[in-house]
A and B are shown apart, each in its own frame.
Chain A
Amino acid sequence: MAVDRSRLPAPGDPPAYQFPPILRRTLASGLRVWTVEHRAVPLISLLVLVKRGASADPSGEEGLAAIVGDLLDEGCGDLDALELHEALGRIGAQLETEVGSDATLLGLTVLSRFAERGVGLVASMTRDPRLDVRDFERVRDLRLNRLVQIRDMPPALADRAFTELVYGAHPYGHLAIGSESGLRTMAIDSVRAFHAAAYVPANVTVIAAGDATHDGLAALVERAFGDWTATAAPIADDAALAAPPAPSTRLAVLHRAGAAQSELRIGHMSVARNHPDYLQLLVLNMVLGGQFVSRINMNLREDKGYTYGARTGFEARRGPGPFLLQASVQSEATADAIRESIGEIAAIRGDRAVTRAELETGRAALTLGYPRNFETAEQLARAAAQMALHELPDDYYTTFVPRVLAIDEQTVTRAAARHLDPARLLTVVVGDRERVDSALVPLELGEPLDLGVPA
């Protein structure tokens, strides 16, 4: 066949894809057990979703949820830390812990022939961690060391400064790692109290996905978690959190002498994950800065060469989350990159409305690209965890594509006008003040707030 190179071949109709069923059970204890079959590879992925994260840190003890998360694999039941890891290693299990604002996730992927043992160990870590004072002190020291190292990490510094400025004294106003004073203040009693209050069946969803039947997966979980009866008083839900007041600052600079680039964060408070406009915002984000061909990356990288890449996102939280642009740009281009970024955010609200072609490209990423998000057991388990955390409707994944396809370009532009506000944008720069300060003046973002040097 001679290739026709005069035009691109048009893709055929998208192949049918059906998100696999998630079977939901709730035990008498209130523990939710969700299962997803995925028979492609002999692996099981288990996720324990605890609906408590860094937002539940007591004031003055910032970092507590993360310390509790860190201590889960430092010994449980009859096993000390080394014995536990010995046991995990013998079955080749991959373990990970993530502590976010709203939740803590403990995940395990294991060969299906070792699933019984793996799930048993995860259950023990969740229910019965040792929370020994010596382990606590050791783990806390490691966290304190990490905080010291962050002083040299521009992305972490920028995230922290933006979070603190945009949220202020709000439960979301600190990173999960917390603060030095918070870590030094907390004691083992706080750790144990946090675990006792948060890690109870009523707050937990266990998701098992992989190479077994729904019944087989559920039985696996129930054997390990079925007799867990702990209870605790209900704790305030992040979904009830109000938005913080808008910060008065529009520009803040953290000085890093001799920095090779400026690390930028530009954004403002936006909506919670369960806001009715959220899907519109997903499409908007794809057009604005959510993929390579989006406006901001094409401008800052492919047109100007200021950066290796720029991206935006609407952060999904149970309470109000920020809209945020992130980029690391050449120092000399700092002011121009900020000007172009704010210009793009302003223009998409109407001056340069979303076009049909942009809409189609943006929707394609979400719809045509949809099935590849669900190739592995772990991806399916994570999708289920999102559903559990944000209380998405049961048909969320099966109706996602048609709902996105029902969004048109005018709707997206209107969503931009409603949810993006250039006048409220806060810009954080982590870079060399001497190389960027004077160029920032013409941006007319007011006197920059001086964040000093990393500490």
Chain B
Amino acid sequence: MNIPFIHRTLDNGLDVLVHEDHNCPIVAVNVWYHVGSKNEVPGRTGFAHLFEHLMFEGSEHYDHGYFQPLQQAGASLNGSTNADRTNYWEVVPSSALELALWMESDRMGYLLPALTDAKFNNQRDVVLNERRQNYENRPYGLAGMAIVSELYPPDHPYHWLTIGAAEDLRAAHLDDVRAFFQRYYHPRNASIALAGAVDADAALRQVEDYFGSLPAGVEPHDVDPPVPAARTAETRLLLEDRVELPRLYLAWHSPSLFAQDDAELDLAADVLAGGKTSRLYRALVYDQRVATEVAASQNSRELCGYFQVVATAAPGRSLAELETSISEEMDRVCADGPTPAEIERGIAQAEAHFISRLQTVGGFGGKSDQLNAYHVFLGDASFFDRDLARYRNADAAGITRAATRWLRRQARVSLSVVPLGKPELALTGSMPVAVS
């Protein structure tokens, strides 16, 4: 099982990946720039994402907005920024492939001549509103900021979230946009994947036609911060928020994407909180009824990852009760390992998940996005089956070893999010943290 593709690197350094899928008469165009919020510097956080917005505001040869001609051609399109990369995609009728290539190549090559103060100010307002909507005005919306700012030191690029700080967004300049574009937005720092109802060789030639003449640019230096020091004493934080029910976050440093123990911790998260048979759901929500919900995840990223467990207290129950139950269950996993049934279930779910990822050519997580992910992060777009093998080959001993190594109690950061004016509901010894 795999995603077959052809790959070519153009003379200007642009990597082109093409996968044929004639199930539906559509084609996905997916462009990754290997830049994200980890390339930002303190004082200018949130910039990579603000820049992404400007990519939809028109370029030199078509300066009437990016959406209009594509939606007029029946396209679906979007983009996103995370710590490690920025992606842009269109899904178009196969007859509109050239239009999508024209548009993507024009903004890759000719964004700056169309840039204006008015666009910049407008999109900064839009992003500030995105930040209000998804972080400030959302219950528990600032928890993620509090956690990463403790897990990583201030000069580490994962110290801030991709949305950035509001004051940094306000401080950003048009000149910053120009410098950012020249540094990161060029063929040598990009990869384009097509997937869908195309002839692969012909599509590759079309990509070369549209992108081949763009200047190469200089490959940016890798971001290579020191590995955050191992945590040796538990840190307890407290955040008051406009919430009704207290919620406990527990977070640990964990391996980076595709590194040793990454898949094992993904499976450990599943054993702990994947579905109603998981250890934590069963103990906290089903049996003891001390929590209304519980989740666990291995958040693996390019430089390093973090593992997180989140549980919301049932009314009248304390975060201390949640903490005790979670710690007991995690200790049990570390001591005894997962059961054969848990391993079987985890692997079955991983396999189903991988196969379901083969259903769509485009959009976030579709086949074109996956090819770019494997290519950009591993330099090997054919990694699909080996990625699945990481899960198929995982065993109880490996999961136990990974959990024991990474998820030690003294290495964790806890965050108690409690209703405004009720700091006493936090775990004892929690220090207030300021985020906004």
Residues of B within 8 Å of A141, CB to CB, are 289, 314
* B137 in the interface (beta carbon within 8 A): yes
Contact present for B71 and A293 (CB under 8 Å): yes
Residues in A with CB closer than 8 Å to B359 are 40-41, 43, 375-378
Q: Is B98 an interface residue (CB 8 A)?
A: yes
Chain A contacts of B390 at CB under 8 A? Answer: none
Most chain A beta carbons < 10 A, residue from B136, B285, B345: B345
Interface string of A236-271 (1 = CB under 8 A from B): 000000000000000000001011110100000000
Contact string against B for A residues 51-95, beta-carbon threshold 8 Å, 1 for contact and 0 otherwise: 000000000000000000000010000000110011011111110
Q: Which residue of B lies closest to A377 (CB)?
A: B359
Residues of B within 8 A of A3 (CB): 102, 105, 209-210, 213
Return the CB mask of B14-29 against A: 1 if under 8 Å, else 0.
0000000101111000
A11 touching B96 by the CB < 8 A rule? yes
Task: Verify if A365 is at the interface (C-beta below 8 Å from B).
Answer: yes
A432 to B74: give the CA distance in the assembly, Å.
40
* Contact A371/B24 with A14-B74, A92-B352, A145-B292 known, Cβ cut-off 8 Å: yes
Q: Check B68 against A293 for contact (C-beta < 8 Å).
A: yes
Residue in contact with B24 in the complex, picked from A110, A259, A375, A377, CB distance below 8 Å: A375
Instruction: Collect the chain A residues with CB atoms within 8 Å of residue B353's CB.
Output: 92
Candidates B99, B275, B356, B361; contact of A43 at CB < 8 Å: B356
- Contact (Cβ within 8 A) A5 B61: yes
Kindly list chain B residues whose C-beta atoms are within 8 Å of the C-beta of A256: 242
Please tell me if A228 contacts chain B, counting CB pairs below 8 Å.
Answer: no
Asked if B239 lies at the interface with its beta carbon under 8 angstroms from chain A, I say no
A82/B356 in contact, CB under 8 A: no
Query: A360 to chain B: which residues have CB within 8 Å?
Result: 72
A305 touches B125 (CB 8 A): yes
Q: A172 → chain B, closest Cβ, in Å?
A: 27
Contact A376 B360 (CB under 8 A): yes
**B344 A90 Cβ-Cβ under 8 A:** yes
B341 interface hit (Cβ, 8 Å): yes
Q: Does B95 have its Cβ within 8 Å of any Cβ on chain A?
A: yes
Chain B 124-139 interface mask (CB, 8 Å, partner A; 1/0): 1111111011101111
Q: Is the Cβ of A111 less than 8 Å from the Cβ of B24?
A: no
In this complex, what residue of B is CB-closest to A84? Answer: B276
- In the complex, chain A residues whose CB is within 8 Å of the CB of B74: 14, 364-365, 367-370
Q: Which residue of B lies closest to A374 (CB)?
A: B24
Evaluate contact between A111 and B352: CB separation under 8 angstroms.
Answer: yes
Q: Are B286 and A328 in contact, CB atoms less than 8 angstroms apart? A: no
User: Do residues B352 and A93 form an inter-chain contact, with CB atoms below 8 A?
Assistant: yes
Query: Does A12 have its Cβ within 8 Å of any Cβ on chain B?
Result: yes
Which residues of chain B have C-beta atoms less than 8 A from A376's C-beta?
359-360
B243 at the interface (CB under 8 A from A): yes
Question: C-beta contact mask, B265-299 vs A, less than 8 Å → 1, else 0?
Answer: 00000000011110000100110010010000000
Contact A43–B102 (Cβ < 8 Å):
no
Does A8 interact with chain B (Cβ within 8 Å)? Answer: yes
Residue A6 CB within 8 A of the other chain = yes
* Bound complex: CA A84 to CA B148 (Å): 37
Asked if residues A361 and B277 are in contact (CB atoms below 8 Å), the reply is no
Could you tell me if B349 and A92 are in contact, using CB atoms closer than 8 angstroms? yes
CA distance A259 to B242 in the complex (A): 9
User: Which chain B residues lie closer than 8 Å to A8 at the CB level?
Assistant: 62, 69, 99, 102-103
**For the complex, what is the distance from the CA of A42 to the CA of B349, rounded to whole Å?**
14
Residues of B within 8 A of A305 (CB): 121-126, 129
Answer whether residue A149 sits at the interface, using C-beta atoms and an 8 A cutoff.
Answer: yes
Contact with A along B92-108 (1 / 0, CB 8 A): 11111011001101100
Return the contact of A368 from the options B21, B93, B123 (Cβ within 8 A): B93
Q: B129 contacts A330, CB within 8 Å?
A: yes
Judged by a CB distance under 8 angstroms, whether A342 is at the interface is: no
Q: Could you tell me if B360 and A146 are in contact, using CB atoms closer than 8 angstroms?
A: no
Nearest CB of chain B from residue A42's CB, rounded to whole Å: 6
Which 9 A/B pairs are nearest by Cβ-Cβ distance? A368-B74, A305-B125, A92-B352, A15-B25, A92-B348, A369-B74, A89-B345, A11-B96, A12-B95
Residues of A within 8 A of B (CB): 1-3, 5-6, 8-17, 40-43, 73, 81-82, 85-86, 88-94, 109-111, 138, 141-142, 145-146, 148-149, 151-154, 256, 258-261, 263, 291-293, 301-303, 305-308, 328-330, 360-361, 364-365, 367-372, 374-378
27 contacts between A and B (CB under 8 A): A3-B213, A5-B60, A5-B110, A9-B102, A11-B92, A11-B93, A15-B93, A81-B276, A85-B276, A85-B277, A86-B277, A89-B277, A110-B352, A111-B352, A145-B245, A149-B139, A149-B312, A152-B243, A153-B139, A292-B67, A302-B126, A308-B129, A330-B125, A364-B72, A364-B74, A368-B93, A378-B359
- B residues with a Cβ closer than 8 A to A are 21, 23-26, 60-62, 65, 67-69, 71-76, 91-96, 98-99, 102-103, 105-106, 110, 121-130, 132-134, 136-139, 197, 209-210, 213, 242-245, 274-277, 282, 285-286, 289, 292, 312, 314-315, 341, 344-345, 348-353, 355-356, 358-362
